[in-house]
Chain A
Amino acid sequence: MLAAAGGNPLRQAAGANPSDVNLGGVKSDASPRWPKPIGSPVLDSLRPVIENSRDVHTHVDKIVEVAGWMAYEELPMPEYHLPAGVGVNDPNEAIDFIMVADVIDTAFTDFSTHVKFTTEYAGQHWSDSEAEFACLKRAMDNGIPILDGNFLAKVTRQQLNEIFSGNIEMPMLDEKLAVLHQVGPVLAEKYNGRFSNFIRSCPPRLYDNGKGIIDRLVVEFPRFNDVSQYDGHEIKLYKLPQLGIWFVYASLHPSGKFQLEDIGAMTAFADYIVPVALRLLGITSYSPALEHAINTYQMIPRDSTQEIEIRAHCIYATALLREEVNKIRPADKQIIIPQIDARLWMPYHTTFWPHHLTKTIMY
């Protein structure tokens, strides 16, 4: 299924698409506009995908248009809330909790039945990743040392099934178990069992010639090495390592308990939802073949060119959108990419528009 060399935006397959906007000529694939460098190896790695995309296209003129109204929104730094009591007197506990949750923050919807994982905790009903958080907090309340790598290294399937008791068996339970068995021993052997010790052993940077927090997460914990091969190039996406550290930063930085010198190097967190937002806003468009695959809920294989293109364009387009938004905003209201990510994710994470389906532990 080769492709769309140039002008045809190929958007007719989407019934509800805002299709009457003149896209005014998609740029030739040979010379896409590139965002100014932000010091992100993730963003820098995408170029081969953006330049050679078969099924996903980014419309820079549409980015300029959307920025024309989005820039005047508040676009706050998102506030995340940990379950009540977690890390209140101990920022290291907050780090441990966030990172343990992050390593298994993968699909919460059963791929066959499309039923979402939900659970009851503290008199409330929780679903998706909030349900995961609730289960982990419930385990802590019951004295299970789920923040300790020594425990995670040896947790049994049966124990994990009990920790995640809910309406259905936790989706991808075996994969989550395998991840914990991989992460747990590393924490146990090198970091006294705790993610906070790992993070405190790094310089306060995401990237630092191999010594930054993200640099080391992807090397020391292979489950975080979220990369794909595309036309012989390695494309870095790093969704969960970035998201985990962003969550830690957003939770602890406002009270001065966590610093990062290069927070501006964060990209979007390439998942299922942000691509939907970009697609609905007309910033990206898909080939009819890809559009059909998504709309009919077909699985898109991990590491396929379609999957890589969806995710790469998500990171590329949000970087450009942030650039255009900042052109309009005054100096004291400049934003970083995760603020765009949050702005796109929030209103669409419950959307009934279909997102792509890929079975993976990477997002």
Chain B
Amino acid sequence: MDTSRRAFVKALSALPVEILTSRKLPSSSTLAATRRRPASLTEIRWPKPIGSPVLESTRPAIENSRDVFTHVDRIVEVAAWMGYEDLAMPEYPVPSGVQSTAPNDVVDLILVANSIDTAFTDFKTHVKFQVDYEGQHTSDSDAMFACLNRAMHNGLPILDGRFLAKVTRPELEKIFAGNIEMPMLDEKLEVLHQVGSVLAGKYEGRFHNFIKSGPPLLYDGGNGLVERMAKEFPRFNDVSPYDGREIKFYKLAQLGLWFAWATYRKDGPVQLNDVEKMTTFPDYIVPVALRLLGINSYSPELEHVIDTYQLIPRDSTQEVEIRAHSIYATALLREEINKIRPADLQVIIPQVNERLWTHYHTTFWPHHLTKTIMY
């Protein structure tokens, strides 16, 4: 089965480029026509190790991809102009309207919110979750933060795992009262019950106690923060099988720690001495940016599925490939960008992630649709 699919892909890559580019392609057909096909499978360029089990684990998906391709020559081309951009280390403000600005409380809020930072758009109606609170109209994850702030101002201890472990569906409905029922409310309820129980049982109910209970590292032979999040809180165990191998993504575990770290950096409750091991946060948007920039391309089948808003199942090879190529391509893009930049302006991958995400998160170009609690 596997060999025949690979053979099919090889045959596909030998098709005349006009067939592959006959669909509406945002990058100009001039570019597509002059671009080389992906390097043959045996000569895939691999980024230098950054000490990330996530990046290392994606190799089987990159080497055997059926539907997603990364074009290294295009990465070099994009780096040649993106490398001269500011690409500043993001400085996240403390979420607005918080009840308490004590750093431990802010970190707890960030990590509680992060644990339910999944779809905010109804999969059927495509309506976004929106809330008006204290004169501000917010949508998406901003609306979620507004709801959490509102709950705290109403005296609900939503930072406390003992509360989250037992919160009821009607209570959660009320917390997330907005224009529509919060998308995936049942899944979010289940996540809070799971996360709340672990926090209550081991960390006096609070995420910052979890952070303090281990070394300030993402990875540390199983004791790092990402490793422990994935192990102790199953909802963060964002892995997928691919040809019998386990591919690690750890999107929300990495993103939550990144937000918590980048809000305070050196002076905050979350210290990360190996922050350079962060990969991109493989979501819906970064793949769109890579696809539009011509760094990734898709098989006609996958292109069609995305353009017609069909759901792509969680753990399907298509979903795994989209996400694995996000991690792989951004690692290479960062490498090429750093070749251009002077020593004092070197970047880490989340800065590239930020650059791609901010430019495209409101795009009208369709992104893939997958129903999951992992991103």
Contact = CB atoms under 8 A, between A and B. Distances in A.
Contact of B80 (A18, A22, A71, A348): A18
Interface string A42-79: 00000000000000000001001100110111100000
Given A18-B77, A72-B363, A333-B364, A353 B26 contact: no
Contacts of B26: 68-69, 71-72, 328
A72 B292 CA distance: 8
Interface in A108-128: none
B72 to A, nearest CB: 12
Interface string B135-173: 000000000000000000000000000000000000000
B136 to A, nearest CB: 16
B108 to A, nearest CB: 29
A209 interface: no
B364 A347 contact: no
B83 A16 contact: yes
A354 to B, nearest CB: 10
Contacts of B87: 347
Contact of A347 (B31, B80, B85, B340): B85
A65 B28 CA distance: 5
Nearest to A347: B85
B81 A68 contact: no
A165 B315 CA distance: 61
A21 B345 contact: no
Given A20-B77, A22-B34, A24-B30, A330 B364 contact: yes
A21 B34 contact: yes
B122 to A, nearest CB: 21
Which of A276, A329, A346, A352 gathers the greatest number of chain B CB atoms within 10 Å? A352
Contacts of A352: 84, 341-342, 345
B84 A351 contact: yes
Given A72-B26, A72-B365, A328-B26, A16 B86 contact: no
A352 B25 CA distance: 33
Contacts of A330: 364
A127 to B, nearest CB: 14
A16 B80 contact: yes
B238 to A, nearest CB: 27
Given A74-B359, A74-B363, A65 B27 contact: yes
Interface string B11-41: 0000000000000011110110010000000
Contacts of A142: none
Contacts of A72: 26, 288, 292, 360, 363-365
Interface string A336-363: 0000000000111111110000000000
B34 A348 contact: no
A353 B84 contact: yes
A229 to B, nearest CB: 32
A351 B86 CA distance: 6
Given A18-B80, A20-B73, A61 B30 contact: yes
A118 to B, nearest CB: 17
A257 to B, nearest CB: 20
A17 interface: yes
B293 interface: yes
A95 B68 CA distance: 52
Contacts of B42: none
Contacts of A139: none
Interface string A70-93: 011110000000000000000000
Contacts of B342: 352
A72 B27 CA distance: 11
The 10 closest A-B pairs by CB, nearest first: A347-B85, A65-B28, A280-B81, A69-B292, A18-B77, A18-B80, A72-B365, A68-B26, A353-B84, A22-B34
Given A72-B363, A351-B85, 4 more contacts: A17-B80, A68-B25, A69-B294, A71-B26
7 contacts: A16-B84, A65-B30, A69-B26, A73-B359, A328-B26, A352-B341, A352-B345
